Amino acid sequence: MGMTMTQKILAAHAGLDKVTAGQLIEADLDLVLGNDVTAPVAIHEMEKMKIKKVFHKDKIALVPDHFTPNKDIKSAEHCKCVREFAQDQDITNYFEIGEMGIEHALLPEKGLVVAGDVVIGADSHTCTYGALGAFSTGVGSTDMAAGMATGKAWFKVPSALKFVLTGKPAKWVSGKDVILHIIGMIGVDGALYKSMEFVGDGIKNLSMDDRFAMANMAIEAGAKNGIFPVDDLAIQYIKDHSNKEYKIYEADEDAEYDEVYEIDLSSLKPTVAFPHLPENTRTIDEVGDVKIDQVVIGSCTNGRIDDLRVAAKILEGRKVAKGLRVIIFPATQKIYLQAMEEGLLATFIKAGAVVSTPTCGPCLGGHMGILAAGEKAVATTNRNFVGRMGHVDSEVYLASPAVAAASAVTGKISGPQELGL
């Protein structure tokens, strides 16, 4: 049998002609990523290993984004640890406050990941870069330490699921709705340690921001990674953002897949994941009357410019429901500036929302929007586990920017159609 796209990338980086599912390999790394939560642990592990220098100062990215701007003394100490390590090691891609962004939006924007790369990151949503045709996956901090020291990592080659996408999404249906539909269909362990490989003519109807959102949430289905073919849109994105050489890998025609799913994008509706798992999905017409206390628009899933444009289009000329808190997080400084220049921030503020500097913030229950007991939030984030955004008795409903913005106006979970849009 032939190899999948993921397997071809791993084989090339392991110096092998062929790999098969379940095989253990050691692969060369193109990039190693850490943030202010995970990198300090990796740094301390490197110290225990008595490693004096990283394998390549240009192939490590350190992004303090989770508890930044520093929310307390402990987070300040973590960031100081990362900052001093970056200075000591002369790390090229260390991004301080003012030039940083949420890591999984920032790295593609900075051109640090291109098609054909193998990337590990000490953050589970490192799988985002599969949108560019790269193999990228999350690892623990000790694996990050080993990667920084050696430039290599070991993997068990994953088997694959194939998702054949056809058709064109309806108005207000985005990549977030597609991936929530898929997770609702296969479950949070439906792709456990497998590669989710997206193919089909429908991909041409998905923007890069749609694809980033879908690859980002592959981990919510338990996947090792998610990956898209490298088409003209992806190539243009790479050329616009990076000077790195890229390589396109394509699955063999006789590649083996554990399952093949066919999804007509035109049949999908805006979708919401109810507490407390991303698989608890309902289409917008099945939601019922769910009053909310907070709306969060942003994160590494949905804080990109397309996401903010959709939210602004819905909030334009409208007001946030009385008593509701709406917090908007542009994912990077560049996106923040672009949103400002396009007038999106003015729209948000006039509507009654607040706009934050780029940060992961409330997504992981960090800061900038923590929920109290009994509170409910609609969020464009990626996880809604018990206590994820605050108190264990709070609830998070995952949705697209369109649903989040409409809900901000009505004060309950709503689709744009309820506003006559």
Annotated binding site for [4Fe-4S] cluster: 300, 360, 363
The answer to whether residues 75 and 68 touch, using CB atoms and an 8 Å cutoff, is yes
State the DSSP H helix or E strand holding residue 327, giving kind and residue range, or none if neither. Answer: strand 325-328
Bridge partners, 135 (sequence order): 118
Residue of 398, 380, 383 whose CA lies nearest to 328: 380
Residue of 165, 241, 235 whose CA lies nearest to 203: 165
Any idea what DSSP says for residue 177? H
* Residue found under tokens 């980002």: 216
* Residue found under tokens 């994941």: 273
Half-sphere exposure of 129 (CA within 13 A, CB side): 32
* Residue 93 structure tokens: 């891609």
- Residues with Cβ < 8 Å from 155, sequence gap 6 or more? 10, 24, 25, 26, 27, 137
Expressed in angstroms, the distance from the first to the final Cα of the chain is: 49
Residue of 127, 392, 375 whose CA lies nearest to 276: 392
Going by the annotation, the residues of the binding site are: 300, 360, 363
Any idea what DSSP says for residue 189? T
> How many CB atoms are located within 10 Å of the residue 323 CB?
8
Q: Which spans in 187-289 are helix H?
A: 208-216, 232-241
* Residue 76 structure tokens: 């300040």
In 3-state terms, what secondary structure has residue 118? strand
Burial group, residue 14, by CB count within 10 angstroms (0-12, 13-18, 19+): buried
* Residue found under tokens 């901090």: 141
